[in-house]
A and B are shown apart, each in its own frame.
Chain A
């Protein structure tokens, strides 16, 4: 198998995730799109781990998974706080820092 096919799949997932982060207004959906981006990174890491026959890539993928779990926990707590204060999780309403 070519290394490229995994890299292209990962690039597509990454681009889709970036689109989701930019285009969604629901906070939970933005967090889901970030998960898409992190999954793309993991596929790249594991593909290069197989390509170089070096286990370090898989170890880094495990670290990314652990950090993603922490990120989702904090992110959802923030989204809950936004919901409690504004009664909505529409991110276009969160504009107190707009000049």
Chain B
């Protein structure tokens, strides 16, 4: 349990630092790389929570596909690769205030509701791999949402081609 807590602390510190740099850096490409760091940290946290399938999907879909999409977006909009002043607008301090207030409220409420709750890893470890139970859950309880998500992905694919096509 000590080792898990140390791992959590290291990964969480990396994620916090990368998230702050992601929203403050003046370099768009670097922001994409900090996003990779945050997403990889999230995948590692999923592994700590013994959610192996979600962690793999996170790496495949987010880091493998979405970040590449972002890099294409950066290149196609011809953002300057180096430093670019003026990536932030003038309501920065108001935004920081809103973010701090949100953080305060969420931390207070979750601490109030789940202050002393612990995750029981013994029970999770006895369940073994999560992939079979996720498959059973998706194809029994959530088969309609699953099909809807497939249609949504198709619609988004066709829609983005129609929107972005030059004609």
A residues sitting closer than 8 Å to B (CB atoms) are: 1-9, 11-20, 22-29, 31-33, 35-36, 39, 42-43, 46-47, 49-51, 53, 55-56, 58-59, 61-63, 65-74, 76-81, 83-84, 89, 91-92
Contacts and interface: CB of A to CB of B under 8 A. Distances in A.
Contacts of B1: 1
A15 B160 CA distance: 29
A31 B77 CA distance: 14
Nearest to B23: A20
A23 B92 contact: yes
Given A7-B110, A12-B19, A56-B137, A50 B66 contact: no
Contact of B121 (A1, A23, A26, A33): A1
Interface-centre pick from A16, A17, A61 (highest chain B CB count, 10 A): A16
Given A59-B137, A69-B61, A18 B46 contact: no
Interface of chain B, helix or strand or loop or mixed? helix
In this complex, the interface size class of chain B, counting residues with CB under 8 Å from chain A, is 35 or more
Contacts of B94: 22
Interface of chain A, helix or strand or loop or mixed? helix
A80 B73 contact: yes
**List of 4 A-B pairs having minimum Cβ-Cβ separation, nearest first:** A22-B95, A70-B156, A19-B99, A77-B160
A4 B95 contact: no
B69 to A, nearest CB: 6
A1 B99 CA distance: 27
Contacts of B89: 23-25, 91-92
